């Protein structure tokens, strides 16, 4: 074969080209291409008498001899790299490949063996003396990098036992985050604030590890609430139980629970525990659950307040006005306007599993939940589906009361409920006196209709020429309540 050295270096250059440009893009195809190039390089070397286990021939010609030596050493290093890639791609489990620790350790061992083999076979150096010297050097280095070696061996233990893997949400050494990388030295966590925290493997192996991703479809939520010790525990437990009932985003199994955790001289601590099926839901569901606990406690006359501060005196009239102010339709009303409406509220009590609103009906009153939990269901071809739950401070029926729009859902009580209702006959005189309030309510209703979707009669997507959705709604309100056409 003519010019074997030139051909060999061309093959090496082509391998570097494939490696650096990642061509072809598929990992396995690229590996087999590089293996084929290594086989071609081996054939060229052996056919030209350049055996990697002996010195290169032509010792009398310095140039070709040293080029042959370099090519043989490259053969050893290239073979070590391809052996590492083959083990990584074809033999190691996918989880180990993501964590990179075993790949790095295997690669280091194989490269060390290739370097020793190249020194012994190609350069014919005294390997025994080199190994003995390197052993003494290894002891010195081992003492110098003791903490690093501790991280390496701890990483091997963590990767073998697999208490967590890349992608899991964990708590390590009081740091919570998502595992984004595991290497020979440390575990990299991405926290909820978007920061990267690096936990050394030696620290992770010695501390408690909470893996929030296992089991895969059950993730716990825990809320701690400090309550005034004057509040009766049974009342608090019942209110928090209704809050759990009113949250349809939590799992039924494992069952959520409430318990009185501990007592002090100034407070009683209650713990609310629930579970969700997706880690990404924890924050949103925690916020929703805390809001529900607050509202159900308030409905039971138990408030979260600074301990030692006496509660403000709340009269029945104040309670009705506060209930109205919590409804978004009435947030913009003045105090005197709220007071007028509060006088018209009527109280209604319902038992559990009692239907309040049937499908395809037009509500003639606005119902505001004072206490209890209601379920909103929608009939589909496949059956009945629950789409929401309603709790204290929420209202329904405003579309029927204001604009005469029918509701396509069924609303029933889940627990015993107390509702305050405002009828059409009570609302009409108020709207006649406060036309601007009617406009404000229509603006809010137009916005909410976009969110309601299938729950009520649809608003035309293309109102009459020159009329907006707001104007369409306001015309219906004006017609339904016989308002003057001067606005």
DSSP-assigned beta bridge partners for residue 190: 178, 196
Whether the per-residue pLDDT at 3 is higher than 70: the answer is: yes
Give the percent of the chain with pLDDT over 90: 24
Could you write out the DSSP letters of every residue in 413-473?
ESS-EEEEEEEHHHHHHHHHH-HHHHHHHHHHHHHHHHHHGGGBPPPPSSPSTT--HHHHH
Could you write out the DSSP letters of every residue in 383-418?
EEEEEEEE-TT-EE-HHHHHH-PPB-EEEEESS-EE
The tens digit of pLDDT for each residue in 138-179 reads: 665 665 556 777 887 888 788 778 888 888 889 998 888 999
Alpha helix segments (H runs only) across 87-126: 94-99, 101-117
Q: Taking Cα atoms as reference points, which of 417, 414, 363, 406 lies closest to residue 389? A: 414
79-93, 99-113, 377-391: the lowest-pLDDT one: 99-113
Looking at residue 374, the DSSP 8-state letter turns out to be E
* Token couple for 427: 């609302």
In the predicted model, what is the mean pLDDT of residues 377-402? 86
pLDDT value at residue 454: 45
Residue written as token pair 């379920």: 375
Whether the per-residue pLDDT at 351 is higher than 90: the answer is: yes
For residue 60, name the pLDDT band (cuts at 50, 70, 90).
Answer: low
Question: Torsion-angle region of residue 170: left (phi > 0), alpha (psi -120 to 50) or beta?
Answer: beta
The tens digit of pLDDT for each residue in 237-281 reads: 999 999 999 998 999 989 999 999 888 777 889 999 999 988 888
| CATH fold label, 316-480 | Jelly Rolls (2.60.120)
Q: How far apart are CA 257 and CA 254, in angstroms?
A: 9
Q: Report pTM.
A: 0.62
| Contact in structure between 97 and 88 (CB atoms under 8 Å) | yes
Neighbouring C-beta atoms of residue 340, cutoff 10 Å: 17
User: Under CATH, which architecture does the 163-211 domain have?
Assistant: Roll (2.30)
Which residues are within 8 A (CB) of 461 and not within 5 positions of it... i.e. 6 or more apart? none
Question: Torsion-angle region of residue 256: left (phi > 0), alpha (psi -120 to 50) or beta?
Answer: beta
The tens digit of pLDDT for each residue in 418-465 reads: 999 988 888 888 878 777 777 777 776 776 565 555 455 555 544 554
Neighbouring C-beta atoms of residue 115, cutoff 10 Å: 14
Higher pLDDT, 465 or 121: 121
pLDDT value at residue 189: 93
Q: How far apart are CA 60 and CA 473, in angstroms?
A: 101
Q: How far is CA 318 from CA 176, 312, 338, 395, in A?
A: 44, 11, 10, 18
| Contact in structure between 216 and 202 (CB atoms under 8 Å) | no
254 cis-preceded (ω within 30 degrees of 0): yes
In the predicted model, what is the mean pLDDT of residues 346-358? 93
Domain limits of the chain?
4-144, 163-211, 219-299, 316-480
Angle at 250 between CA 244 and CA 255, to 5 degrees: 70
Which residues are within 8 A (CB) of 395 and not within 5 positions of it... i.e. 6 or more apart? 327, 329, 366, 367, 368, 369
- Report whether CATH 3.30.70.100 matches the domain 219-299: yes
Question: Torsion-angle region of residue 100: left (phi > 0), alpha (psi -120 to 50) or beta?
Answer: left
For residue 416, name the pLDDT band (cuts at 50, 70, 90).
Answer: very high
| Contact in structure between 477 and 442 (CB atoms under 8 Å) | yes
The tens digit of pLDDT for each residue in 14-41 reads: 999 988 888 888 888 888 999 999 999 9
User: Alpha-carbon Rg of the chain, whole angstroms?
Assistant: 37
pLDDT value at residue 317: 53
């Amino acid at each position: 074969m003519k010019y074997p050295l030139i051909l060999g270096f061309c093959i090496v250059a082509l391998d570097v080209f494939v490696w650096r440009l990642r061509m072809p893009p598929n990992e396995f195809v690229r590996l087999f291409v590089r293996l084929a190039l290594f086989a071609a390089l081996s054939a060229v070397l052996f056919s030209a008498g350049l055996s990697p286990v002996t010195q290169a021939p032509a010792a009398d010609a310095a140039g070709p001899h040293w080029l042959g030596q370099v090519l043989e050493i490259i053969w050893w290093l290239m073979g070590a790299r391809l052996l590492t890639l083959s083990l990584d791609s074809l033999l190691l489990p996918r989880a180990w490949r993501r964590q990179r620790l075993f790949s790095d350790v295997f690669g280091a061992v194989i490269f060390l063996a290739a370097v020793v083999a190249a020194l012994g076979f190609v350069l014919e150096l005294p390997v025994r003396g080199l190994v003995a010297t390197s052993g003494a050097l290894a002891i010195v280095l081992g003492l110098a990098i003791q903490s690093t070696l501790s991280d390496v061996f701890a990483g091997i233990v963590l990767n073998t036992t697999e208490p967590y893997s890349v992608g899991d949400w964990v708590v390590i050494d009081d740091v919570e985050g998502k595992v984004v990388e595991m290497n020979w030295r440390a575990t990299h966590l991405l926290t909820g604030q978007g920061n990267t925290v690096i936990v050394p493997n030696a620290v992770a192996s010695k501390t408690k590890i909470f893996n929030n991703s296992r089991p895969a479809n059950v993730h716990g939520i825990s809320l701690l609430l400090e309550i005034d010790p004057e509040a009766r525990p049974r009342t608090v437990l019942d209110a928090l139980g209704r809050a759990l009932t009113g949250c349809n985003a939590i799992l039924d199994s494992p069952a959520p629970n409430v318990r009185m955790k501990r007592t002090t001289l100034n407070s009683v601590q209650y713990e609310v525990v629930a579970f969700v099926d997706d880690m990404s839901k924890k924050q949103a569901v925690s916020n929703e659950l805390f809001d529900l606990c607050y509202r159900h406690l308030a409905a039971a006359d138990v408030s979260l307040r600074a301990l030692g501060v006496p509660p403000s005196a709340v009269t029945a009239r104040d309670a009705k006005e506060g209930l109205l102010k919590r409804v978004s339709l009435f947030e913009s009303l003045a105090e005197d306007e709220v007071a007028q409406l509060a006088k018209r509220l009527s109280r209604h009590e319902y038992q559990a599993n009692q239907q309040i609103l049937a499908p395809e009906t037009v509500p003639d009153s606005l119902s505001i939940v004072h206490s209890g939990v209601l379920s909103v269901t929608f009939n589909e071809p496949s059956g009945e589906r629950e789409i929401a739950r309603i709790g204290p401070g929420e209202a329904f029926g405003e579309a029927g009361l204001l604009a005469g729009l029918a509701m396509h859902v069924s609303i029933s009580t889940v627990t015993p409920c107390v509702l305050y209702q405002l009828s059409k006959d009570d609302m009409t005189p108020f709207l006649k006196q406060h036309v601007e309030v009617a406009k404000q309510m229509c603006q809010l209703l137009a916005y909410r209709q976009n969110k309601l979707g299938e729950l009520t009669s649809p608003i035309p997507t293309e109102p009459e020429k020159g009329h907006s959705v707001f104007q369409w709604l306001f015309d219906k309100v004006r017609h339904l309540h016989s308002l003057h056409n001067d606005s």
